[in-house]
Amino acid sequence: MTAADFVLDPRLKAGSFFICDWDLCRVSLKNDKTFPWLVLVPQRRDIREIFELAEADQMQLTREISRAARALKTVCSADKINIAAYGNMVPQLHIHVFARFQGDPAWPKPVWAVHRDEISYTDSERETEIEKFKNCFGKLES
Amino acid sequence: MTAADFVLDPRLKAGSFFICDWDLCRVSLKNDKTFPWLVLVPQRRDIREIFELAEADQMQLTREISRAARALKTVCSADKINIAAYGNMVPQLHIHVFARFQGDPAWPKPVWAVHRDEISYTDSERETEIEKFKNCFGKLES
């Protein structure tokens, strides 16, 4: 199949904003400004676990996770990058890559260990954030 | 450096049991029988983020995460494999790869979202569990 056959799960789409498509993954910004947070979704159909991807896709996924992590480190001066793939509720394989800071609302625990309400970006904040990531991705790819 | 220079962080060592060393990672069983849970630690020094690994090591890490995930799926008939890399408290890069089941104590939430006490293996349970994984790893490698 090609990326053209790919359909992003509507639950993932609803909570995030499109940034760009890489060779394998669709890259989105999660709509929660508490944590700078990217969601990577391999543009392949019917994949739920990383080991269901073809080996070349697994390798590309790793390159793209690393690129996302490096961008978060660079753009946000993050103290730590956290990476997680669950998919217990939304089966389409998706990887959370997000920035953590000493003193953030859940630090040093996993963000899921602390209940909090998500805080949406305003339109202009969202545009600014997306632009920052696009610029950084461009530099990391060159 | 070589794997011989590698020292497992004592906090990771304290909460888990050695299973085996793969080409890159030390593979341990977390001492919590609520969830079949493997911890993979790349045997490299002073690595905190995945993108700090050499590219070849990143690719190998992905192969080993996939192998661990496939083993959990096979050995435990897991409904879903969850994968996470945090490192906010223990900086040595380590990856959690663990099995989830419909109806487990945290399902479908991330395990960190539900407070629970860890339940240690007895000696014989631990030996049985480690043996099961070793047997499965052997088959996946051949």
Nearest to B66 among A58, A67, A110 (CB): A58
Q: Do A23 and A64 touch, CB atoms closer than 8 A? A: yes
User: Could you say which of B66, B84, B108 has the minimum Cβ distance to residue A83?
Assistant: B84
Residue A21, min C-alpha distance to chain B (Å): 20
pLDDT, averaged across chain A: 95
Q: How far apart are CA B23 and CA B26, in angstroms?
A: 8
Residues B40 and B26: their CA atoms lie apart, in Å, by 6
| The model's pTM | 0.96
- CA–CA dist B63, A56 (Å, integer): 11
For the domain made up of B3-139, the CATH class stated in words is: alpha beta
Q: What CA–CA distance (Å, rounded) separates A19 from B43?
A: 35
Tokens read off for B53: 């690994």
Q: Do B62 and A61 touch (CB under 8 A)?
A: yes
Record: contact A110-B107, CB cut-off 8 A: no
For Cα atoms A31, B107, B137, give the angle at the middle one, nearest 5 degrees: 105
Q: Give me the tens of pLDDT residue by residue for chain B, a chain 142 residues long.
A: 556 789 999 999 999 999 999 999 999 999 999 999 999 999 999 999 999 999 999 999 999 999 999 999 999 999 999 999 999 999 999 999 999 999 999 999 999 999 889 999 999 999 999 999 999 999 987 6
> Which chain B residues are closer than 8 Å to A110 by Cβ?
84, 86, 88, 110, 112
A49 Cβ under 8 Å from any chain B Cβ = yes
**B134 in A contact zone (CB under 8 Å):** no
Burial class (CB in 10 A: 0-12, 13-18, 19+), B95: buried
| For residues A85-110, average pLDDT | 97
Q: Looking at CA atoms only, how far is residue A80 from chain B in angstroms?
A: 7
Note whether A29 and A130 are within 8 A (CB). Answer: yes
- Best mutation site among A11, A35, A80, A92 for testing chain B: the one with the most B CBs within 10 Å? A80
User: Would you tell me how many other CB atoms lie within 10 Å of the CB of residue B10?
Assistant: 10
The reported pLDDT for the residue numbered B3 is 66
Q: What is the pLDDT of residue A5?
A: 84
User: Could you tell me the CA-to-CA distances from A95 to A37, A42, A61, A112, B26 in Å, in that order?
Assistant: 10, 9, 9, 15, 23
B80 reaches A (C-beta below 8 A): yes
pLDDT of residue B142: 61
- pLDDT tens track for A25-81: 999 999 999 999 999 999 999 999 999 999 999 999 999 999 999 999 999 999 999
